[in-house]
Homo-oligomer: A and B are copies of this chain.
Amino acid sequence: MKDVLLDEKLRILAGLGADLRNRDFLLTWEHSLEEIRSVLLTAQCLRELDEAGRSIRVFDTGLAVSIFRDQSTRTRFSFASAAAALGLTPTDLDEARSQIAHGETVRETAVMISFLAEAVGIRDDIFLGEGHRYMQAVAAALQEGYERGVLARRPAVVNLQCDLDHPTQTLADLLHLERHCGGIDELRGRKFVISWAYSPSYGKPLSVPQGLIGLLTRFGMDVTLAHPKGYDLLPEVVELAAKQAGAAGGAFRVTHDMAEAFDGSEVVYPKSWAPIAVMRRRTELQRKADRTALADLEKEGLEENARFKSWHCDEALMKRTAAGSALYMHCLPADISGVSCPRGEVSREVFERCRLETYRQASWKPYVIAALIFLTRVPDPGASLRRLVEAGRPRIL
């Protein structure tokens, strides 16, 4: 397989000099730009090989453990797909069916499931202040186990969505943007809008919008965050986005007017999330297990949302974007008016027109997860990638 582009990618990858070995991937902003770019390049290489019918298997055996503390379809399958493509056996820890209910500690469980594991993918996104902390606790336990000779290898903890960030989603989004714009350097100055949109559902996590402003501002994009008053994101992530935009020569601003945000934008990402005040109270009430107050809070949350039904991505709004043809993005599933609910985030017309493009956006996620496992677990990722390119097996014998 002679491929000039692949070869060029491998050369750039080597030049970046990033080293993710024996590390975790929890928040994009904890990683250098070189590390982020290495993930993107590796994901592109793995996808190119896979789509050319080449095997990207680098593990003869091993376990890839997933822990889903919230429902998931696409991330669950992306993780299983990535694991299987690399040669690992995906195995889910179903906490309801395990002994964890018996009072076992997180620290202990983390080690017990990891004796022959290469990666532990975790989704824990519902409660503010919980998910990231849980992932850190798992990572610390694995690090201790590795350093103290309990574990022969150090599995990577991969964040499959926490309360702060959703890196496998936003890196997939970034790859979709890169392909759409014709290169990572082409993102500079592009007008990107992440906007709140109405949804009849309650308690959607903040991690996607936070992840987007925390990642895209580093690539010099002109990022606008739009939401009704009260639907703020975590202030530390908003501050980080502003700082990063300044450093990268891009822009970042917050507005409370969806239509104005869409004016002249090149990419729009209209998506619902919960008011931060509701999320905070919910976490408190959950700790107290106060079911009555939780039910009241849900009712209030839905009523509050309903005040902003006009935050709806329809063709009229899309017409206001640059040349009336901004790229529409969504992490899926979208709340589609007249399809999945009477009134939601996006009109049936806009979604149907852009539907396959959102599927293409989603299609990057398995390769992002594969790249993260590859870079954290393979001893010499550059050499291994080169070997896959030069002498790889066909995927179907």
Listed in ascending order, the chain A residues whose CB lies under 8 Å from chain B are: 50-51, 55-63, 65, 68, 71-74, 76-78, 80-91, 93, 97-105, 108-109, 111-113, 115-117, 144-145, 148-152, 201, 332-333, 335, 339-341, 355-356, 359-360, 362-363, 365-366, 377-379, 384, 387, 393-397
Task: Check A366/B115 contact, CB under 8 A, given A60-B393, A103-B335, A103-B340.
Answer: yes
- Please report the C-alpha to C-alpha distance between residue A61 and residue B109 in the assembled complex, in whole angstroms: 29
Interface pairs (19), CB distance under 8 Å: A57-B397, A63-B77, A63-B80, A65-B77, A71-B99, A77-B112, A77-B113, A84-B89, A89-B90, A103-B340, A103-B341, A104-B332, A108-B355, A108-B359, A115-B363, A115-B366, A144-B356, A150-B359, A384-B397
Task: Check A332/B57 contact, CB under 8 A, given A84-B62, A378-B396.
Answer: no
- Cβ–Cβ contact B76 & A98, under 8 A: yes
- A165 to chain B: closest CB distance in Å? 19
Question: Of the candidates B71, B98, B113, B387, which one forms a contact with A71 in the assembled complex, judged by CB atoms under 8 Å apart?
Answer: B98
Q: Majority SS of interface residues in chain A?
A: mixed
CB-based nearest B residue for A78: B115
- Please report the C-alpha to C-alpha distance between residue A88 and residue B85 in the assembled complex, in whole angstroms: 10
- A331 to chain B: closest CB distance in Å? 11
- Please report the C-alpha to C-alpha distance between residue A77 and residue B56 in the assembled complex, in whole angstroms: 25
- Please report the C-alpha to C-alpha distance between residue A80 and residue B105 in the assembled complex, in whole angstroms: 21
- A342 to chain B: closest CB distance in Å? 11
CB-defined contacts of A50 to chain B, threshold 8 Å:
116, 152
A105, A201, A333, A366, most chain B CB atoms within 10 A: A333
- A272 to chain B: closest CB distance in Å? 12
CB-defined contacts of A397 to chain B, threshold 8 Å:
57-60, 384, 387
Task: Check A60/B55 contact, CB under 8 A, given A115-B81, A332-B108.
Answer: yes
